């Protein structure tokens, strides 16, 4: 019950779906086709380190990294026999103490790359702050305070902080924002045009994107965001109404066009800076004259 957020502190998912659908026609259509999508209440330590490994990474490599961390520093749980007859050794996720004993060199050798320094630094700082108990206490703190606490860890930016807050720290109104989510909010929740007018995803725009979801969906806006985000996944597209799929495909093409334009703009700006640097005349150093001889008075 705890893992699936089935406690009395949260309304039944069906009630939330109904509340969200009443204020958002698009979500209303999505909700009827994707019932049962909910946010899990994950273990804080595992969730934090998993999202540090997830940044700029793909699912297959994330699974490989986390599996190696479990095998090297976790507690053996037993062996599972797979359908093909092979045996798979299972391990728990490492404790904060276990991870704090890992060295950057060890983790790099395991294939964690530049994330190795983030894992070791975060493990050390988390241990100093009280370990798992510190993260558990964040479940009772306000959203902004939780966000600021999390971005103090190495490898944790605004989006990772909000992912951790949403998926394990009971911050149901956290909205993890990236460029894709910003553009979705611009498409669906930008009546005043402020999001469209923004040139980049600044901290102010990041907060504004989250506010657009919170204003519409309330205390469980992060859960509503998860449902809408799931609806954008290609593997679930076949369940959606045809007109929404067409809209998504058109939106995807528009994103490709914008990415190409941004790439060309950045390239042009870089070339312009290089050209300006080359055209700027170098200052010739002033020649110093011979030192004056002191005369005796």
Contact 209, 2 (CB under 8 A): no
pLDDT at 297: 47
Please say if the pLDDT value at position 174 is more than 80: yes
Rounded-to-integer distance, Cα 183 and Cα 113, Å = 31
Q: Does 206 have pLDDT greater than 60?
A: yes
Q: Is the pLDDT of residue 180 over 80?
A: yes
The model's pLDDT over 36-73, given as tens digits with 9 standing for 90+, comes to 999 999 999 999 999 999 988 999 999 999 999 999 99
Q: What positions carry a catalytic annotation?
A: 159
Lowest model confidence (mean pLDDT) among 93-102, 161-170, 220-229, 268-277: 268-277
Across 202-206, average pLDDT: 97
Residue 38 region, left (φ>0) first, then alpha (ψ -120 to 50), else beta?
beta
192: its two tokens: 């005043």
- Average pLDDT, stretch 159-170? 98
Residue 291 three-state SS: coil
pLDDT higher than threshold 90 for residue 147: yes
* pTM (global) more than 0.75: yes
The answer to whether the CB of 190 falls within 8 A of the CB of 228 is: no
Comparison of pLDDT for 150 and 286, the residue scoring more: 150
Residue, of 292 and 113, whose pLDDT is higher = 113
Check pLDDT > 90 for residue 255. Answer: no
Mean pLDDT of 233-241: 93
Cα–Cα distance measured from residue 78 to residue 89, given in angstroms and rounded to the nearest whole number: 6
Mean pLDDT score of the chain: 93
Angle made by CA atoms 107, 109, 113, in degrees to the nearest 5: 65
Nearest to 125 by CA among 42, 41, 73, 49: 49
Give the residue-averaged pLDDT of 259-272: 90
**pLDDT, average across residues 152-160:** 97
Among the listed ranges 18-32, 158-172, 248-262, 280-294, which one has the minimum average pLDDT value?
A: 280-294
66 closest CA partner among 98, 102, 92: 92
- Output the pLDDT for position 284: 63
Are the beta carbons of 31 and 227 closer than 8 angstroms?
yes
The model's pLDDT over 76-112, given as tens digits with 9 standing for 90+, comes to 999 999 999 999 999 999 999 999 999 999 999 999 9
Query: How high is the pLDDT of residue 283?
Result: 65
């Amino acid at each position: 019950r705890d893992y699936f957020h089935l406690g009395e502190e949260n309304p039944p998912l069906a009630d939330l779906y109904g509340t969200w659908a009443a204020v958002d026609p698009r979500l209303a259509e999505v909700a009827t086709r994707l019932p049962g999508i909910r946010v899990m209440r994950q273990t804080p330590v595992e969730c934090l380190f998993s999202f540090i490994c997830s940044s700029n990474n793909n699912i297959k490599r994330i699974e490989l990294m986390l599996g190696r961390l479990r095998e090297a520093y976790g507690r053996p749980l037993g062996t599972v026999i797979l359908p093909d007859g092979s045996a798979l050794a299972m391990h728990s996720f490492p404790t904060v103490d276990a991870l704090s004993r890992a060295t950057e060199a060890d983790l790099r050798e395991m294939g964690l790359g530049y994330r190795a320094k983030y894992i070791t630094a975060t493990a050390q700082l988390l241990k100093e702050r009280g370990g798992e108990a510190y993260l558990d206490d964040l479940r009772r703190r306000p959203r902004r305070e939780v966000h600021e606490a999390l971005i103090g860890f190495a490898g944790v930016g605004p989006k990772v902080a909000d992912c951790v807050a949403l998926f394990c720290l009971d911050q149901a109104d956290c909205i993890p924002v990236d460029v894709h989510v910003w553009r979705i909010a611009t498409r669906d929740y930008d009546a005043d045009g402020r999001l469209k007018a923004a040139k980049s995803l600044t901290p102010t725009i990041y907060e504004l994107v989250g506010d657009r979801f919170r204003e519409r969906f309330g205390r469980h806006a992060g859960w509503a965001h998860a449902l809408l985000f799931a609806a954008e996944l290609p593997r679930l597209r076949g369940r959606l109404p045809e007109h929404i799929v067409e809209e998504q495909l058109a939106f995807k093409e528009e994103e490709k066009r914008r990415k190409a334009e941004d790439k060309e703009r950045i390239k042009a700006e870089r070339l312009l800076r290089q050209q300006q640097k080359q055209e700027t005349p170098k200052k010739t150093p002033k020649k110093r004259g011979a030192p004056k001889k002191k005369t005796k008075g």
